[in-house]
Chain A
Amino acid sequence: MKDLTELKKIEKFADQCMKCGFCSFFCPVYQEERVETSVARGKNYLVRLALKGEQEFTPEMGDIIGKCLLCKRCAANCPSKTQIDRVVVGARAQMVKDKGLGFIKNFAFRKVMANRKAFGRYLKLAKAFQWMFPKTEGNIRHLPDFLKALGHGRNIPTLAKTFLRDMVKPVYKPVNGEKPKMRVGFFMGCATDFIYPELGLKLIDFLTKRGIEVVVPENQNCCGAAIYFSGDFETGRMLAEENIKAFKDVDYVVTACGTCSSTLKDYQKYLPDNEDQQKRYEAFEKKIKDSTEFVIDVMKIPPEDFKLRKEFEGKTATWHDPCHLIRYQNIKEQPRAILKALKGLKYVEMPNADMCCGMGGSFSVYHYDLTKKIADKKMDGIKATGADIVVTACPGCMINLIDNALRNKMTQKVYHFLELVE
């Protein structure tokens, strides 16, 4: 009998699907392709066959379970509450267990991304050559994505001149010199580190101005999203251990990246192999806060106390819900409350604000044509609002929104909500 450890863990979720097909309406991929293997029901059915030993992890099967944004829109609307994200990730993990990672991913995940120093070195190398590529406003998220996305006509922006890691201090005391209200660990994440270092500095500044001590452990590692969502649980667990260790002495861990906060919280959901891991991942989850939820739910800053930065006065803004905020962390109202309360800014809700922008991490690298189609719908929603700026809280989404806004020759600029406030 074959070892189906990873599939067994998600069997009960796969069995919940009643094949009603409602997921098709909510799936951005099915909406473009209209083929059963694109949608949750089809994927789930094939995984159930794999559990029964009636379906091998063929390359075709790999393509099928690979073609999911993990946006969880189907799961959120499933009448029988099938957690298809767990099924898909579990199937990918089983496939990695059976077949290994393949050379490129093995190199990218284990030799580059999971090695903080090497990752930086490779990126610095890439930086030296980036004048070769077309320029845009934001930047790329993961080195392998960056290299693979070349030649696809994508707008690839410049990397930061100095990475955040080379700028930060290990400890920041509250600026007023008083005893800190709490001790918060700042989790950088790749995007903030290499692409938007100013976001990280902004968050540190925002917190220390309000009496919080911020620590930036040097030995923090990648959150692991691209890695464990691809099924590389082994590297995922290693990263989990490193991050838990790096942040063991703080009250909270805060990040400016929706994907990072969600990924760190969800170690407990996807990765545990035994009870001990389960417990420690769960304890870690409780410390993690996305910046949007931290300022409202933990710091309890009333939305009307936020001050708009001068350059945004008179602008109209709309909010894009990153999947990792709205469905993974149930963060919907907090950012809206801030945007609506900001004096001098006009807020307009966009149609389908919760629909995935099409990025889906490495999905956009392997399926860039699909990403563009999905993003076009998002762009239609943005255009319909007549907004000047699109605000969100995930650098991944920002990169994709910028790429597609440029491609659609739109005037809207994309910002992280931290960039809007004093």
Chain B
Amino acid sequence: MLKESLVSEFQKIVGNENVLTTPEALKAYSYDGTTSWIHEPDCVVFPKNTKEISEIMKIANAEKIPVTPRGGGTNVSGGSVPIMGGVVLCTTKMNTIVKIDKENLTATVEPGVVLQDLTMRLMKEGLFFPPDPQSFLGATLGGIIAENAGGPACVKYGVTKQYILGLEVVLPDGRITNFGGRTLKNVVGYDLLHIFVSSEGTLGIITKAELKLNPIPPAKKTIMAVYAEIAMAGESVFRVLENGVIPGKIELLDNWVINRIEEMMPMGLPKDADAVLLFECDGIPEAVEKETEKIVEITKKYGAVDVRVAKDMDEANKYWMARKAGFAAVFGKAPTVMAEDVTVPRGKIPEFIKRCRDLAKKYDVEMCILGHAGDGNLHPSILSDIKNKDLYERSLKAMDGIIEGAVEMGGVLSGEHGIGLEKQKFFRRAVDPVAVELMIKIKALIDPNNIMNPGKIWD
């Protein structure tokens, strides 16, 4: 429990209404988007600016109180769960889009800006910010940056780190500092900026960010390729890429997901297909036409039993709606869903899918596969029930097998959600010991009192 006097100090800094301590409020800040991680903070603080954050951190550092930064709390790694109690520092009230600079294609944002709000503002200017964790309706930029989020557009556009030019950060001792800047190129000194991107809140608090933007591509085209065998779909992914086409998105839905979507909103998806791939090409119209033709040709050559090019925006939107509904389809179907976030080298996708299916059989669990196949980031999801002990344990074993399989194939534990609490037990097995040691030293250097989001990543 926090000392009463500290609560009133926080109140002096941010105002009474911006400090929550009632048991009900603390319970409401004990979770994130994961199913199994819960821990209550001792207090929730809503700063309105960088200076307030700096003052809060000075107190927390002096008193050695854990501080867990949090935005919309949509993350699925447990990263924003205050597992050691202490203070949840919630940035949702710092939600101003400070500036959109059309000349330099940049935007300056506060950490609590919700991605969809940014996207809508940018759309009016003909601009877009490619990283998009599919929780865009609630996810805030601070969290997106701290988790180095990905999304469907990564195959062509990369993850969040490619779109962060500069950060303003409050360090655990309260010092305010800046990394990077507003230029595309910046090779001055060690790249501290990118330690903070993907730091999962363990090094400091992001208080402002300079984002790199893209113009909205003038043309788009959607292609759906249908497969009788999911591994063939996996193969098509790297065949398309090795043949010189880099679509904006390549998404995979398996038979289970297709059928749940059809139950929810019938739209004529091929219910017998073992899997479908959804491609989106974007760019200048002529290039999009050519790329589309090429994708049709390659997917047919490498085993697609049917390939449909969406004839208009309506049909395209329908397919992408299906992809988005995939999330709901999975999560609405079981009391506990374990959604994986591993990423394998693209050439290994077919082998990895086969491994997943074997594991499902071996442990007798229901599993579906969907995800951002284009960059090898798949989300095999096990439908489980935490209240059913036997099923839950088998699910955990299958899950372990999936992760081990991915790492064996040269993949990584997480493509876009981060380690947080969810992947901790695999961390040291999957990351080189020297690298782990360096990370721990960096952490100790920046946060000697270990107050920033303690208990996460390797802890």
Contact = CB atoms under 8 A, between A and B. Distances in A.
Nearest to A81: B332
A366 interface: no
B105 interface: no
Given A21-B74, A24-B72, A25-B138, A37 B28 contact: yes
Interface in B59-93: 72-74, 92-93
B319 interface: no
Task: Give the one of B28, B93, B139, B328 with max A CB within 10 A.
Answer: B28
A15 B335 contact: yes
Given A19-B31, A20-B138, A36-B29, A25 B24 contact: no
Contacts of B25: 35-37, 60
A177 B107 CA distance: 70
A42 interface: yes
A5 interface: no
Contact of A79 (B114, B139, B332, B335): B332
B33 A20 contact: yes
B73 A79 contact: no
Contacts of A58: 23-24
A18 B332 contact: yes
B116 interface: yes
B15 to A, nearest CB: 13
A60 B31 CA distance: 19
Given A36-B29, A37-B24, A42-B28, A21 B135 contact: yes
Interface string A53-92: 0010010110010000000000001011100000000000
Nearest to B88: A36
B365 interface: no
B24 A64 contact: yes
B33 A19 contact: yes
A22 B24 contact: no
B214 interface: no
Contacts of B33: 18-21
Contact of B116 (A25, A42, A61): A25
Nearest to B29: A36
Contact of A21 (B35, B72, B337): B72
A158 interface: no
A45 interface: yes
B28 A79 contact: no
Given A19-B33, A20-B74, A46 B331 contact: no
Interface of B: 20, 22-25, 27-29, 31-35, 46, 72-74, 92-93, 95, 112, 114, 116, 135, 137-139, 325, 327-328, 331-332, 335, 337
- Lowest 4 A-B CB distances belong to which pairs? A79-B328, A21-B138, A25-B137, A34-B92
21 contacts: A16-B332, A18-B332, A19-B32, A19-B34, A19-B35, A20-B33, A20-B138, A21-B139, A25-B114, A25-B116, A25-B137, A34-B112, A35-B20, A35-B25, A37-B24, A45-B28, A46-B24, A46-B28, A60-B23, A79-B331, A80-B332
